[in-house]
Amino acid sequence: MPVPQKRIFDALPGIEAPVGAIASSLAGMWSDAVEQGRPAPAEEDSTATQVNFVLHLGLNAGAEDAVAQFGTVVAFSRRYPCRVVVLCPLHDDDSDTEMRCKVYGECTVGKTRDDARCCEFVMLSYPRSLRQYLESQVSVFLSTDLPLYYWAHGFATNSGLADYRYFLTDSKRVLIDSSEAPAGAMVYPWPRPEAMRDLVAARLLPVRQGIGQFLSRYPMDVLSGGLRAVSVEHGAGLEPEGRVLVDWLKDRLGACAAAFGCAPAKDAAARTLSVAFAYDGAKSFTWCGDLAAGHALFSADFGSGATTLPASVSLLSPDDALSEAMFF
């Protein structure tokens, strides 16, 4: 059963403020920081942000989950100063009938006190009866001259997310994590499908780079000649990564007639991913990665002799995956 969103709003940090006084509340927050000796933006550079970012927590997000995603955006903002709006829709049976607002900000000091990277957050809790006013409230806070990025997390249905057309059409990137999104989210007819990015694929970047770099030393006709099947096996909690990995391999080797498949590993409890190419002849290729131990092993024979190569393996951290999905 979904967790009431009022608890999510209350679980997030910040100072509660009037919805109609966001700008003055943020200014007061930074003034208090200066008085207390904490880092704050310079007055003449108080809006030195690089992007607008909206984190939209759907009705399937719980309080602990929401705090974790909030922490990911905070970590991201320490490298890419941004203005962030966190949207917390209320369930229909919640007693709140008005929007509620919190403001939050922090500055990370670099090598000198003048080298401060600052982020500003606004949390908005809203009942569905006020849904029609949401975009106008968000636009008051966002910088009109900066690109908008939108992360939809914890939505129960694709059609529910599709109702937020303003964010889906105006955002430079729309981020969805297919490991927790509704089924078919990445193939749903969104208004701008070219803007969609899957955070699972972003997390897999080191895996994709490692496999791609190893295979790139062989011509495509050597890789695809006689290729009968490509299989990916996944361990505990890595089914989304396995599915995305097999889709990536299919895209890279799709010109051949091989069958592609994804299945659980024999040791289902292990945190592993593996790839195997099956050929009609004597050629072979396998890659096995143990994400818990951080190491992988390539084994291949493409007709010029057997090769084995140990390598490191990992997934991107949540904030690194966020930047990968947004900017690349």
Has residue 313 got a pLDDT over 90? yes
Mean pLDDT of 64-70: 96
Q: Which residues pair with 176 in a beta bridge?
A: 198
Mean pLDDT comparison of 7-16, 94-103, 309-318, highest-scoring range:
309-318
Average pLDDT in the 152-177 region? Answer: 97
Q: Answer yes or no: is pLDDT of 272 > 90.
A: yes
Residue range 175-192: average pLDDT? 96
**216: CB partners within 8 A, 6+ apart:** none
Label residue 108 by pLDDT band (50, 70, 90): confident
> What pLDDT is recorded for position 254?
75
Torsion angles phi and psi, residue 320, rounded to 5: -65, -40
Sign of CA dihedral 34, 37, 42, 48: negative
Phi, psi of 296 (to 5 degrees): -140, 165
Mean pLDDT taken over the chain: 91
Q: Averaged over 240-253, what is the pLDDT?
A: 96
The predicted pLDDT at position 46 comes to 46
294 close to 264: Cβ distance less than 8 angstroms: no
Tokens describing residue 315: 């997934």
pLDDT level of residue 1 (50, 70, 90 thresholds): very low
| Weakest mean pLDDT among 3-17, 129-143, 242-256 | 3-17
Question: Whose structure tokens read 């962030």?
Answer: 84
Q: In this model, does residue 3 exceed pLDDT 60?
A: no
Per-residue pLDDT at 7 exceeds 50: yes
Q: What is the pLDDT of residue 63?
A: 94
31-51 pLDDT, tens digit per residue, is 887 777 776 776 555 445 789
The pLDDT of 192-201, averaged and rounded, is: 98
Residue with tokens 């007819």: 189
Residue 2 pLDDT exceeds 80: no
Task: Give pLDDT, residue 6.
Answer: 58
- What is the structure's pLDDT at 91? 86
Task: Give the C-alpha separation, 244 to 279, whole Å.
Answer: 22
Residue 92 has pLDDT above 50, yes or no: yes
Q: How confident is the model at residue 114 (pLDDT cuts 50, 70, 90)?
A: low
Q: Residues 287-302: what's their mean pLDDT?
A: 98
pLDDT one-digit tens code per residue, 13-37: 999 999 988 888 888 887 887 777 7
- Output the pLDDT for position 36: 77
Average pLDDT for residues 74-82, to the nearest whole number? 91
Per-residue pLDDT reduced to its tens digit, 203-223: 999 999 999 999 999 999 999
36 CB neighbour count, 10 Å cutoff: 8
Is residue 133 pLDDT above 80, yes or no?
yes
**What's the burial of 55, exposed, middle or buried (CB within 10 Å: 0-12/13-18/19+)?**
buried
Q: Report how far Cα 284 is from the mean position of its chain's Cα atoms.
A: 34
